[in-house]
Amino acid sequence: MTLRSIVSLLPAAVFGMAVVPAKAGDTAPAEADVQVVQVTSSILAERKNDVTMNIVIGHEEIVRFGDQALTDVIKRLPGLTVGGGPGRENEIRMHGLGQGYTQILLNGLPVPTGFSLDTISPESIERIEIRKAASAEYGTQAIAGTINIVLKKKSTPGQSELKVGMVDTRSLPSTTATLQLADQDGAVSYVMAGTLTHYRLRNLFSVLQTEQDTSGATTSTRTSTQENHGDQDTLSLTPRINWNLGDGESLSLQSLFNYSHLDRLGSDRENSFGGARVEFPNFDEKVDMRTSNARSDLSWTQKLPANGELEVKAGAVYYDRAINFDFFGHGPDDLVNGHNQVISSATNLGFVSTGKYRMSSSDGSQALVLGWDASRTQRNEERHESRELSDTEGVTLLNQDYDATVTRLAGYAQDEWEISPRWSLYLGLRWETLATSSEGTNVAQLRNQASVLTPLLQSQFKLKNKDQIRLAFSRLYKAPDVAELVPRRFVVDTTNTPTNPDVQGNPNLHPELAWGLDAAYESYFGQAGMVTLSAYARHIKDVTVRQEFQDSTGRWISMPANDGNASTHGVEIEAKLPLNTVLPGAPAMDLRMNLARNWSRVDQVPGPHNQLDRQTPLSANLGGDYHPEDWPVSVGGNFAFSSGAQRSQSSTLASYSTAKRELELYALWKMNKTSQLRVAGSNLLHQDVRHDSTYVGAAGAILDSLTSHTAATVRVIFEHKL
């Protein structure tokens, strides 16, 4: 039995029964539905013919559920998950790994530190590329892999579109509006998408902390309820202008402008049973955060003789974040007895230059690319903190400022070679050096430099039955972030414990190096059918782990450090199955599924459960779309599952996260040739998610348990072509 026939046994009947036909009304043009299939087929053909291991997600799939946040789109994609525990709920993970193991690019260039992909509207994205194996052109700082977000480049002259919508969560309505303009005047064309969003939020949490003595007897129990609510306003603009200068010469200017303002209030009310009195049993907090970022890339392309092409790009990146944070601690009498205030800002200003020369053979069987990649980023962070207690005199001031400069220079060569009609080979070599220097208040000057030479190989072999096999071998690395290098301390506002420590950087960190192996078996059939089975393995040297210790005052501190080796491996399966491809006469339904299973081991951490940092062991998506050609309504849904994970961080620290199950449904009504209405619901199971942190030491044990109470979200979006 072939891989294709195994997947064809998926429970299609379940999806068929979920769709109850309605009476056909005014029908939308059949061409619209056919066009969706053509787009899908084109993307699959591109994926099939690409020598490298690259999954492409088109715009139609990106906007299918009408998501507001890009991370909501990404969590459905094959091999990707979102979330990694408290404080990292929107961390994007590939092979279950985040924390810098997954490289995030925007238009082929790394995103700046602190940049959130959720500030980009899904409407402004043309495609998402998931690169499982590294390439010389896109960089090798990708131990888990690379995700490249490509903003809209193509435009249909005279076609503009307006989308307005309302989103409701916990009976808090939010609004969003997107306007896309596109036109052409002679040799100049442009496309611009702008999105304005007003989002109202309310999050609820329950906290349980239990302390035990060495005999296992409970000495204290604390329960608390936390709530935060507020408003967030976001403006996103993505203009692109193209000039065709003739004779194979062209210019393009691609820009991105984002502004976001978050105003949030939070509170915590605690009940305590036994044990020592904590400093602040109750507290309130207020956060005012403003984020601005902009980037522009000017690209010049010139066709050259002998099938040559030269592309040179120069760009600038600006990122600014300002946060005002106030913490008001309450005593047992609920009177304010402590006030902590933090005023912080971070600014990134960077310049980027890239270029590549591409030369193809006359028959298209070989393509040689030579290129460079250079950038210089200046980062400035200021953090002024004041701590005032009512029972002491004066105010404690903690000022932590630093400036850092990050310089990156890389040169690469790659060759894509069709050795025979069935066998293609990709060879790449990339040299990259990364230099970091920083200095700040009460921090000695820091200089850190590392160079990596990375060979790359990918191979594609087509079988007689039109299936194909892929194999990739690569040298990879993960460089520490600037914030991880600077040895300044962030002091927690609530009680300092082993499960709630202060955090500081480590100037002695150096890059993690890895060898990677990827393999895949792919089968394509029909117009849009596809099944892929893939596997990967990584061996990592000098892996970064979190080390906890107590300083001279007894406060607990968490710090990153290199400690030994680690390994990870896994398997993935992905399938897209038009039902009428395997069952003639079946409804016009497309089924899709993906499943990923990951394993890892950190050698220096005692087992069992000594996985890499919060790696997701198992994730899966199962979905379908029903889009009959003669009906004005299309419907679909998706069920996502991420397994829970138990992990040992050290001989004394462990964590556990519960599994997540999310159900999403949507319906699209094509009202006429220019208007359509999209209705979608997400997180319809509204399952609570729990994360536990456990410390077991010589004096006893501490268990912290945080439960997030989630809620369903409903979106209604009206779309109209102008």
pLDDT of residue 630: 81
Rounded to two decimals, what is the model's pTM?
0.87
153-178: pLDDT as tens digits: 776 677 789 999 999 999 999 999 99
Going by the DSSP 8-state scheme, the letter that residue 117 receives in this structure is: G
pLDDT of residue 20: 34
Mean pLDDT of 20-30: 37
pLDDT of residue 115: 77
638-685: pLDDT as tens digits: 999 999 888 998 889 999 999 999 999 999 999 999 999 999 999 999
Q: Is the peptide bond before 608 cis (omega within 30 degrees of 0)?
A: yes
Mean pLDDT of 12-21: 33
Q: 112 vs 420, which has greater pLDDT?
A: 420
pLDDT of residue 496: 87
| Interatomic CA distance for residues 155 and 296, integer angstroms | 19
Decide: helix, strand or coil at residue 14: helix
In percent, the amount of the chain with pLDDT more than 90 equals 62
Question: 410-414, 493-497, 522-526: which has the minimum mean pLDDT?
Answer: 493-497
259-276: pLDDT as tens digits: 999 999 999 998 888 777
| Residue-by-residue DSSP string for 132-169 | SS-BTTTBS--SSEEEEEEE-----TT--EEEEEEEEE
pLDDT of residue 559: 93
503-515: pLDDT as tens digits: 999 988 999 999 9
Closest CA to 140 of 544, 615, 514: 514
pLDDT of residue 40: 55
pLDDT of residue 25: 39
Closest CA to 659 of 271, 68, 83: 83
419-435: pLDDT as tens digits: 999 999 999 999 999 99
Mean pLDDT of 677-694: 94
CA separation (Å) from 382 to 385, 387, 403, 440, 542? 10, 17, 9, 9, 31
Instruction: Find the CATH number of the domain harbouring 140.
Output: 2.40.170.20
End-to-end CA distance of the chain: 51
Decide: helix, strand or coil at residue 656: strand
Q: Where does the pLDDT of residue 33 fall: very low under 50, low under 70, confident under 90, or very high at 90 and above? A: very low
Q: 401 vs 351, which has greater pLDDT?
A: 351
| Interatomic CA distance for residues 457 and 52, integer angstroms | 9
Q: Examine the pLDDT at 7 and tell me if it is beyond 70.
A: no
* Contact criterion met (CB below 8 Å) for 557 and 582: no
Could you list the residue range(s) of the whole structural domain that residue 501 is in?
3-721
Q: Where does the pLDDT of residue 534 fall: very low under 50, low under 70, confident under 90, or very high at 90 and above? A: very high
- The strand ranges marked E within 274-365 are 282-304, 308-330, 336-360
Q: Examine the pLDDT at 13 and tell me if it is beyond 60.
A: no
Q: 31 vs 576, which has greater pLDDT?
A: 576
| Interatomic CA distance for residues 96 and 375, integer angstroms | 29
CA separation (Å) from 294 to 254, 396, 615? 11, 36, 32
Structure tokens at 209: 């902390």
Closest CA to 406 of 355, 478, 345, 352: 352
The enclosing H or E element of 219 equals strand 218-246
Mean pLDDT of the chain, nearest integer: 87
264-309: pLDDT as tens digits: 999 999 888 877 777 788 899 999 999 999 999 999 999 998 899 9
pLDDT of residue 22: 36
Query: How many domains does the chain fold into?
Result: 1
Mean pLDDT of 129-146: 93
Q: Examine the pLDDT at 4 and tell me if it is beyond 60.
A: no
* Contact criterion met (CB below 8 Å) for 131 and 146: yes
Q: Where does the pLDDT of residue 86 fall: very low under 50, low under 70, confident under 90, or very high at 90 and above? A: low
Task: Name, of 111-115, 265-269, 393-397, the range with top average pLDDT.
Answer: 265-269
pLDDT of residue 358: 95
Q: Examine the pLDDT at 519 and tell me if it is beyond 90.
A: yes
Decide: helix, strand or coil at residue 405: strand
The enclosing H or E element of 43 equals helix 30-49
In percent, the amount of the chain with pLDDT more than 70 equals 92
3-state helix, strand, coil in the chain (%, to 5): 5, 65, 30
Q: 338 vs 708, which has greater pLDDT?
A: 708
Q: 493 vs 663, which has greater pLDDT?
A: 663
* Contact criterion met (CB below 8 Å) for 341 and 385: yes
Q: Where does the pLDDT of residue 207 fall: very low under 50, low under 70, confident under 90, or very high at 90 and above? A: very high
pLDDT of residue 88: 57
* Contact criterion met (CB below 8 Å) for 20 and 596: no
Question: 32-46, 119-133, 395-409, 489-503: which has the minimum mean pLDDT?
Answer: 32-46
| Interatomic CA distance for residues 704 and 270, integer angstroms | 14
Q: Examine the pLDDT at 224 and tell me if it is beyond 70.
A: yes
Closest CA to 669 of 709, 705, 703, 717: 717
